[in-house]
Amino acid sequence: MTEATASARRGSALLVSLLALIVFAVLVSLGLWQLERLQWKEALIARIEARIHGEPGPLPAASTWASLKPLDYDYARVRVTGRLDPTREALIFRGAGKVGQGASQPGYWIMAPLLLADGTSLLVNRGFVPQANKEPASRPDPQRGQEVTITGLLRAPEDRNLFTPADDAAKGQWYTRDPLAIAAALGLPNPTPFSLDEDAHAAPPGLPAGGATVFDIPNNHLSYAGTWFGLAGTLAGVFGYFIWRRRRD
């Protein structure tokens, strides 16, 4: 082997080593980042579980609404008193929901305005109804128009994605829980930027079926970290084999 050939081989080996080191560092960094995300997510879940099982408090003060972030209040338990508006409600389509022990089926969340004494309007998710009970006449509710005290969990607006259908405000049919947009379509005064999921045990019998809150926060960061570290380990093994072959040859 000539000196020029040997020099070229050393140069290519150095380049491969440098690239492998860079990729290895990136993969390990991604794994460490996922472990940091795991700690953050576990703390978030613990905080939310504490809120869900905590004593109910009042709504956040109106003076704080402009600066509120979803993490400040999402899943916070509150108790509020007001009059359920008997003339207005919004339907939020759900692809699957259950009434009692029945089978899962398509239907709607019923969002009813709760009018508070201070002039605030709070949209309350009273629960799920099947598509056959879309019309209010099919589900008599003695609490409509009455002053009621409701306990439940505050919820942040839902995000849209590329596959979310367009809302039909004219028909009162929605595909995401957006309190301010729904309140604007219903003409509600002084609406809150959050909504309230009524507790199951507090909802009246019949329809809507209360307790619509779904506590499902994905926490896959440990498996993601394992994937990145696994790729880093695989790269290290392949690179070690490459070096061994080069030295043997």
- Asked whether the beta carbons of 179 and 90 are under 8 A apart, the reply is no
Structure tokens at 21: 């080191």
**Averaged over 157-170, what is the pLDDT?**
87
**In this structure, what DSSP letter does residue 65 have?**
G
pLDDT in tens, 81-125: 999 998 899 999 988 777 766 667 888 999 999 999 999 999 999
Instruction: Report residue 184's pLDDT band, with 50, 70 and 90 as the boundaries.
Output: very high
10 Å CB burial of residue 155 (0-12, 13-18, 19+) is buried
Per domain, the residue ranges of the chain are 3-47+220-248, 76-198
Handedness of CA 25, 31, 37, 42 (dihedral sign): negative
Which segment of 24-38, 107-121, 127-141 scores lowest on mean pLDDT? 127-141
Q: Tell me the CA distances in angstroms from 119 to 20, 173, 189, one per residue in order.
A: 64, 25, 7
Give the residue from 186, 204, 80, 199 showing the smallest Cα distance to 139: 204
More confident residue, 243 or 189: 189
Identify the bridge partners of residue 110 per DSSP, sorted by sequence position: 91
Percent of the chain with pLDDT over 70: 92
Short-list 194, 203, 209, 200, CA closest to 122: 194
At 136, list the tokens: 């209010």
Among candidate residues 153, 177, 159, 180, the one with its CA nearest the CA of residue 73: 153
Between CA 72 and CA 199, with CA 121 as vertex, the angle to 5 degrees is 65
Report the alpha-carbon distance of residue 14 to residue 18 in Å, rounded: 6
- The highest-confidence range among 122-136, 138-152, 183-197, 216-230, by mean pLDDT, is 183-197
d(CA 164, CA 175): 7
Residue 47, CA atoms < 13 Å, CB-side half-sphere: 11
Residue with tokens 């307790």, as numbered in its chain:
211
List the beta bridge partners of residue 57. Answer: 78
Q: What is the pTM of this model?
A: 0.78
Instruction: Look up residue 158 and give its two tokens.
Output: 């839902």
Contact 56, 78 (CB under 8 A): yes
Locate tokens 């509710």: which residue?
141
Residue 99 has φ and ψ, to the nearest 5°, of -115, 115
Segments of 139-206 assigned E as strands: 147-155, 173-174, 191-198
**Residue written as tokens 């390990």?**
28
Please state, in angstroms and rounded to a whole number, the distance separating the CA atoms of residues 109 and 125.
Answer: 6
In three-state secondary structure terms, 128 is: strand
